[in-house]
Amino acid sequence: MEHSEPQNPGLIGSLAGVAKNSLRLLLARIELAACELSEVRNHLVQLSVLFALAMLAAWFAIAFGTATLIYLAWEALGWKILLILTAVFVVVAVALVMSIMKLIRQGKLALPSTMAELKADRDMLL
């Protein structure tokens, strides 16, 4: 019975193995990026809705603020309700902007896992 040693794959076999492993690594990174991009897309939709609501509230604050100034100049008693509405919309706008800032600070729009893996790959290769 012959005992055969494992054969060295040679230069072509080694290059094929490196190419195969590199392709697997690239595909794994693409899958990770695709997963994270779907999460980022959802956060961007949420951010867009919050931004649109903040803009709407800000425009209402401007409109009611202007109407308040007009009524104040006319010495009418109806200006108080407009002042209250202006304050309410300012509070809503500030709350929405704070929600947007919180979402951005949490880093939900970044790709932390993908970037960490790509950095690790770079460090390993260099």
Cα 48 to Cα 8, 82, 99, 112, distances in angstroms:
57, 28, 12, 21
> How far is the C-alpha of 11 from the C-alpha of 28, rounded, in Å?
26
Structure tokens given for 77: 């008693």
Query: pTM of the prediction?
Result: 0.44
pLDDT at 124: 74
Higher pLDDT, 19 or 69: 19
Asked whether 97 and 54 are in contact (CB, 8 A), the reply is yes
pLDDT tens digit string along 44-57? 899 999 999 999 99
Mind listing the pLDDT tens digit for each residue in 57-93? Answer: 998 988 888 777 777 767 766 666 777 778 888 998 9
DSSP assignments along 41-98, one per residue = HHHHHHHHHHHHHHHHHHHHHHHHHHHHHHHHHTT-TTHHHHHHHHHHHHHHHHHHHH
Average pLDDT (25-46) is 85
Over residues 30-35, the mean pLDDT reads: 84
